[in-house]
Structure 1
Amino acid sequence: MIVWPEYKKLTLEDKIDLLYEHGTFIMAIRYYSYKINLYLLGNFYVEVFVRHKNTIIEKIIPLDMNHTRMKFYSDQIMLPCDMF
């Protein structure tokens, strides 16, 4: 399975293809003008930022466990960082 350093080098289109073929959808949140889909890919989580007004994926980034968005996720599910 791919690791983050290799994944981040891919084009956005290749990231999307790999994510939809091998990733596991976890949940979605609304955050400002985005719908953010959280996926598990191998051993790392990624956030897929979809501009919901025109349904365009703008970026895919690794989940930052220290970001304030974490409260939106942890209110609904238990992520590995919540377990310890």
Structure 2
Amino acid sequence: MVHTPVHASWTNQIEIFFSIVQRKVVTPNDFTDLTQVRDRLQAFEDRYNATAQPFQWKFTTSDLDDLLARLNRHTPADR
């Protein structure tokens, strides 16, 4: 069993990273063997580590509150 905190923002970061890998490395390619996959992943990792920067979140919690309030005003009450 692995204990993870209730608010595990690091899991979100991992999911984002794997989403990037999926889109930029895995999906657009047709590999013929595992060596190609390994080499492509290694090249991506080297390039990514050299250029990676923290994500700059622009959507704040107050933006979310505003959005949910607007959606709530337009949602029928009997749903």
Q: Which has the higher helix share?
A: 2
How would you bin the TM-score normalised by the shorter chain?
under 0.3
Question: What TM-score do the two structures reach when normalised by structure 2?
Answer: 0.23
Which is richer in strand?
Answer: 1
Could you say which structure has the greater relative contact order, defined with CA pairs below 8 angstroms and 6 or more residues apart? 1
Structure index of larger Rg: 2
